[in-house]
A and B are shown apart, each in its own frame.
Chain A
Amino acid sequence: MKTAVQIASDVQGGVSSADEQLSLSLEAVRAHNEELHVFLHVDEAGARKAAARVDEIIAKGDNAGPLAGVPIAIKDNVCQRGVPTTCGSKILQGWRPPYSATVIDRLLAAGAVPVGKTNLDEFAMGSSTENSAFGPTRNPLCPSRVPGGSSGGSAAAVAADMTPIAIGSDTGGSIRQPAALCGIVGVKPTYGLVSRYGLIAFSSSLDQIGPFAKTVTDAATLLEVLAGQDPMDSTSLPEPSPSLVAHLNDGVAGKRIGVVSELIEGADDEIVREVHRALQVFRDAGATVVELSIPEIRLGLSAYYLIAPAEASSNLARYDGVRYGLRVDAHDVTAMNEATRTAGFGDEVKRRIMLGTYALSAGYYDAYYGQALKVRTQMIDAFARAYRDVDVLVGATTPTVAFAIGEKASNPMAMYLSDVFTIPTNLAGEAAITVPFGTGEADLPIGVQLLGPGRSEAQLFSAARVLELADGRP
């Protein structure tokens, strides 16, 4: 499949049309969706309309935007007006939002054609997409394995060539981890760079929408479209969308790159090997590589599993059966709330609601949630100190390559550990990218993670581009 940039160029240049590109995408979906279970809903009618609008604009001789006619997959926790949005949960089954997320409006304005909504772990809680109420998604590279999660559907859509690009959300690694396991590029942008308006909240202070793509260039092109201040999101950053594509080939000459021991410890040998190979590539490209330690990273997982569930326990309170989604009738309103939530939420969601409720409770707040906030502040300070000496940090994205479906499903702790390298970036509110680099067991892809301070995306993309070129992808 062509890249998003090539498709946009073809469509804008009249070599192809948005409608033709959409047809190609829908064919691929039809061929593989039954096996892989990538899309929960394909919005063919809406996509045809969006494609027709793009083709009309071009017929008039106007520019349809940087993503003209590019099919895109949308994680099913992003609201799109009139399109069923479930968050992978029975509690929202059948709900059609009456409004669109800001990112949807931005994508449409840039000429992109949203094809449908992709599978995810329920309410984005999970690392394998096995927690979806509608069944797991399979890894297109090896269907007996998971695609990662929670944005497993979006990662698989790109890996399976159903769409060249996709959007996901990353709360503790939910873009980077599946991107790594599916062998594609995934970006967790700086907190506030992309509007969260219309993203169904899991953990509001950690959630961030970001791109999936096969190439660094496509990911940068997509992020330029998504980024920018939104008056509907109080936490969105005031600066304009950053210039990323223009800096893609800046290289890393003269840059100081730090490999963080806590971001590779515990990873499989083959993954550590690829990280070291990446460091050599950077050295060869003229960067200075140093080794450093950020011990606070070890506290990240514990802090995360208090902060995220605490916020989730509050964010998910609204699914009470009163206004929308599932309602299980009962003799009074309290019983109705309870019956609805009991039937509507899956085990992992219930587990986190209970964990978060407990962490916020009177008498426990200081020991749990309050303590986690302190760790978070320490994490922010620790990264800030590191970035005084280096420009980019390097580590593994995941401890292992894609694991088998069912392998960790019954062991929450093992599942939680698959996000150990990605969580620190979310806690710090900073930026990180994963880029496929080499392969491991069973020829499965390995991702190398590059981390930078807030709004350092341009630098991360140019470093990722160096690895991409070195790995033999043009």
Chain B
Amino acid sequence: MMLPNGWEIVVGLEVHTELKTASKMFCGCANSFGAEPNTNICPVCLGLPGSLPVLNERAVELAMAIGMALHSTIAPSTFHRKNYFYPDMPKDFQISQYDLPINVGGYLDLPDASRVSIERAHLEEDTGKSTHLGGTGRLQGADRSLVDYNRSGVPLVEIVSGPDIRSSAQARAYAQELRGILIATDASDGRMEEGSMRIDANVSIRKAYAPFGTRCEIKNLNSLRSLQRAIDYEALRQVELLDGGGTVRQETRHWDELLGETSTMRVKEDADDYRYFREPDLVDLAPDQAWQDRVRAGLQPMPAERRQKLAALLNDLSVAHLDAVEVVINLGLDDLVERAVDGGADVTLAISRAANELAANMDAVKNFSSESFTATLLMEQRGELSATQAKTVLAELLQRGGDPRDVARELGFEQLSSSSLGATVAALIREHPDEWTRYRDGDEKLAQFFIGQVMKLTKGQANGKSVVAELQARR
């Protein structure tokens, strides 16, 4: 979206991601989504008097992996207490990194070749989760509030970008690419709908080359669509304010997905004084070179590298193909595609089937073998399955597994070998000499006549392209 009157959007994003550790950040409780409320809790994550935090080594490794993927410097760091009262925060302070974060600086290159700088990526703990019932439905003025502390103490990394983003589409692309990195580092499952990745957007506007304007922070955007819509709404709101002679007030704003609007949560003047100070119950964190090297050695290829690799396999770089490549990369399906290509599958076909049929059932993909995928593609290439049949077979395989050959047979997709197809075509040519002569003389429309006859005889089991190939061979 372009802003009117020469205004330019300036956006910086703060992305909070829950780390995919087995246990919480400072205790041994399970870190899992969806358990019965208040079942994954202990004296430490409940902040009971006398309990003490002990840092989770795996959380540090995942934070370092994120930093490495973002070209950050892994720095000696400390933990602080961020002090404020909130019922879902059991200690009434949050342990977070403050002036000395574990990851300092860095950048993220986007698929359109733009670069967004990273200021920091630091470790902190998550709070519990409140549900406010009745009344206003918010903390102040609800009839009752329920708190689930299962999430309390879940490790988070907060990734803070520089104010380098200039459109909502670029913000979306940044979040998308970052999500790919979080998945590639195994730091997160990237499930925004489950809250494992939440975004705060700092939005301001300015005239080109002018100094930055006053920003507003939109809190807790939990889908890429919300992110893009909220930024556009907020930027236009600020344009109207400034063009109308008003000023933008620095404040924290709430995005309402249903109304499609942002509204004031709190203004800067009554912002909390968090009284940060060093967390005395934890020691300094300074991962040595050997530990960093181990983490670096375990890093899998990042989306940018994988995108390049896949694009290099493609000869035809049409836009449609590149879109399919994006889907494959963002969903992490490139490994399946590359294995299929290694197994003899056509790269364009593999990307297309991955970006459509596999993408349609991502939950099932993690249990899907690359052998099944490759075998199905090869059957389609050999003409043993039509395109429609191949898609049906893939959908079935994703749902219930099994061998592609068996699934095809069970679905009634009789194997039609090229020799029997050849015999069928030869017989039809003999039975329809007039039509054959006209086709041989260049009337391409008659190919459809022969395909129709073959389909009739084979009850639709034949592959149209293979029929044409047989006809061509006899022309």
B147: chain A residues at CB < 8 Å are 322
Of residues 262 through 321 on chain A, the ones whose CB sits less than 8 Å from some CB of chain B are 310-311, 313-314, 317-318, 320
Q: Known: A333-B140, A360-B275. Contact between A324 and B50, CB under 8 A?
A: no
Report which B residues bind A (CB closer than 8 A). Answer: 43, 46-55, 81, 83, 85, 87, 90-93, 139-141, 145, 147, 273, 275-277, 280-283
Which of A78, A235, A318 lies in contact with B92, CB distance below 8 A?
A: A318
Cβ of A317 and Cβ of B277 under 8 Å apart?
no
Which of A92, A99, A314, A322 lies in contact with B93, CB distance below 8 A?
A: A314
Shortest Cβ gap from A130 to chain B (Å): 22
A77: chain B residues at CB < 8 Å are 50
Knowing that A92-B49, A234-B52, A333-B140 are A-B contacts, what are 9 other residue pairs whose CB atoms are under 8 Å apart, sorted by A's residue number?
Answer: A87-B49, A200-B49, A235-B281, A310-B277, A311-B277, A311-B280, A314-B81, A318-B91, A365-B277
Q: How many contacting A-B pairs (Cβ < 8 A)?
A: 101
Which of A7-15, A191-199, A249-257, A390-398 is the contact stretch? A191-199
A79 at interface by CB-CB < 8 Å:
yes
Cβ of B49 and Cβ of A85 under 8 Å apart?
yes
A362 at interface by CB-CB < 8 Å:
yes
Cβ of A317 and Cβ of B273 under 8 Å apart?
no
Among A203, A234, A332, A369, which residue has the most Cβ atoms of chain B within 10 A? A234
Shortest Cβ gap from A189 to chain B (Å): 17
A235: chain B residues at CB < 8 Å are 280-283
Q: How far is A95 from B50 in the complex, measured between Cα atoms in Å? A: 13
A324 closest partner in B (C-beta): B48
Cβ of A360 and Cβ of B283 under 8 Å apart?
no
Shortest Cβ gap from B223 to chain A (Å): 29
Cβ of B139 and Cβ of A201 under 8 Å apart?
no
Cβ of A98 and Cβ of B48 under 8 Å apart?
yes
Which of B81, B275, B280 lies in contact with A357, CB distance below 8 A?
A: B275
Q: Known: A318-B92, A333-B140, A361-B273. Contact between A79 and B49, CB under 8 A?
A: yes
Cβ of A232 and Cβ of B52 under 8 Å apart?
yes
Interface size on A, residues (CB 8 A): 45
What are 24 A-B contacts with C-beta separation under 8 Å?
A79-B50, A87-B49, A95-B49, A97-B43, A99-B51, A198-B50, A200-B49, A204-B281, A205-B280, A231-B54, A232-B54, A233-B52, A233-B54, A311-B280, A313-B83, A314-B81, A317-B83, A317-B91, A317-B93, A320-B87, A323-B47, A332-B140, A332-B141, A360-B275
B55: chain A residues at CB < 8 Å are 234
Cβ of B281 and Cβ of A323 under 8 Å apart?
no
A411 at interface by CB-CB < 8 Å:
no
B93: chain A residues at CB < 8 Å are 314, 317
Q: How far is A199 from B48 in the complex, measured between Cα atoms in Å? A: 11
Cβ of A333 and Cβ of B145 under 8 Å apart?
yes
Dominant secondary structure at the B interface: loop
Q: How far is A362 from B145 in the complex, measured between Cα atoms in Å? A: 31
Considering the complex of A and B, which 6 residue pairs feature the smallest CB-CB distances, nearest first? A317-B92, A205-B280, A360-B275, A204-B280, A200-B49, A198-B50
Cβ of A317 and Cβ of B52 under 8 Å apart?
no
A410 at interface by CB-CB < 8 Å:
no
- How would residues 86 to 97 of chain A score, 1 for a CB under 8 Å from any chain B CB and 0 otherwise? 010000100101
Cβ of B85 and Cβ of A200 under 8 Å apart?
no
A337 at interface by CB-CB < 8 Å:
yes
A362 closest partner in B (C-beta): B273
Of residues 396 through 445 on chain A, the ones whose CB sits less than 8 Å from some CB of chain B are none
A231: chain B residues at CB < 8 Å are 54
Of residues 199 through 249 on chain A, the ones whose CB sits less than 8 Å from some CB of chain B are 199-201, 203-205, 231-235
Q: Known: A314-B83, A314-B275. Contact between A196 and B90, CB under 8 A?
A: no
Among A98, A323, A365, which residue has the most Cβ atoms of chain B within 10 A? A323
B277: chain A residues at CB < 8 Å are 310-311, 314, 360, 365, 369
Q: How far is A79 from B139 in the complex, measured between Cα atoms in Å? A: 32
Cβ of A200 and Cβ of B275 under 8 Å apart?
no
Q: Known: A92-B49, A98-B48, A334-B85. Contact between A318 and B90, CB under 8 A?
A: yes
B53 closest partner in A (C-beta): A234
A87: chain B residues at CB < 8 Å are 49
Cβ of A360 and Cβ of B50 under 8 Å apart?
no
Cβ of B49 and Cβ of A97 under 8 Å apart?
yes
A317 closest partner in B (C-beta): B92
Cβ of A234 and Cβ of B92 under 8 Å apart?
no
Which of A98, A204, A360 lies in contact with B83, CB distance below 8 A?
A: A360
B139: chain A residues at CB < 8 Å are 333
Which of A232, A234, A334, A361 lies in contact with B283, CB distance below 8 A?
A: A234
B48: chain A residues at CB < 8 Å are 79, 97-99, 324
Q: How far is A97 from B55 in the complex, measured between Cα atoms in Å? A: 23
Q: Known: A79-B49, A99-B43. Contact between A323 and B83, CB under 8 A?
A: no
